[in-house]
Amino acid sequence: MNTEPTPQPLVVAIDGPSGSGKSSTARGVARRLGLDFLDTGAMYRACAWEAARTGAETPEQIAAVVTAAELQVTTDPDDPRISINGTDVTREIRDPEVSATVSRVATVPEVRVDLVLRQQQIIGEATRGIVAEGRDITTVVAPHAPVRVLLVADPDARVARRQAELGEKVDTAQVTDQVIRRDRDDSTVATFTEAAEGVTVVDSTHLSLDEVVDRIVRLAEEAAR
């Protein structure tokens, strides 16, 4: 009789502040290891987009919109898409207006309870394994993941990266608000500035994207031994 435990699909959890490179890194690791990919920030952004569309402003109104929402999230690292109530908002959730308001949605407790459960369901259904990124993956969503990483970078580097990504369409004051102010707001409901016990800190300030991906792939390979 085979008494070997059935190997569990690998879960890699990556948290970090805005602009630290979580999404790019997580997609790179997922591609390299043949895993699914979950951008939990996109779920909060989709909810912020729907809240704005419906005119929901108070925490109660926002919570009602989110808990009633039908969210479809795909986990292909080469084409992650998200729809809310039947509308594909994959592109729209990156608009500056969404970036400026998403923290208001993400700091509603009932929203977090609802989205954490949905994220845990997506992770549990990822039969080939998954890389999930956000702010509370290593601490709340998947605290028992075999690979847990806090990806950090100097604030100046993070602002510069976001500015380079957004180009001239967004001025430096807006970018700084999107990065630094949003992190301050977000850190009131999730701990992503200090690594929890068992979480590996990777500082990407002076590392290329590929070097960061290499480091986390090595952590995953060591965990799989």
Ligand X SMILES: Nc1ccn([C@H]2C[C@H](O)[C@@H](COP(=O)(O)O)O2)c(=O)n1
Annotated ligand binding at 19? The verdict is yes
Burial letters for 66-89: b for 16+ Cβ neighbours within 10 Å, e otherwise? beebebebebebeebebebeeeeb
Could you identify the residue written with the tokens 């060591």?
A: 222
Which range in 57-65, 76-84, 132-140, 205-213 contacts ligand X by CB under 6 A? 132-140
Neighbours of 156 (CB within 10 A): 11
Q: How far is CA 213 from CA 73, 119, 164, 218, in A?
A: 23, 23, 20, 9
From ligand X, ligand ATP, none, interface partner of 148 (C-beta below 5 to 8 A by class):
none
Q: How far is the CB of 85 from ligand X (least distance, A)?
A: 19
Annotated ligand binding at 169? The verdict is no
Which range in 17-25, 104-112, 117-125, 195-203 contacts ligand ATP by CB under 6 A? 17-25
Secondary structure of residue 39 in the 3-state scheme? strand
**Given 12, 22, 65, 216, the residue binding ligand ATP (CB under 6 A):** 22
**Which CB atom, from 52 or from 137, has the smaller least distance to ligand ATP?**
137
> How many residues in the shown chain lie near ligand ATP by CB under 6 A?
17
Q: Are the beta carbons of 212 and 25 closer than 8 angstroms?
A: yes
Q: Strand 11-15 vs strand 130-134: parallel, antiparallel, or unpaired? A: parallel
Q: Which residues bind to ligand ATP, rule: CB under 6 A?
A: 16, 18-24, 41, 161-162, 165, 204, 207-209, 212
Q: Which residues bind to ligand X, rule: CB under 6 A?
A: 18, 40-41, 44-45, 102-103, 106, 134-136, 182, 186, 190
Question: What residue numbers does the annotated binding site cover?
Answer: 16-24
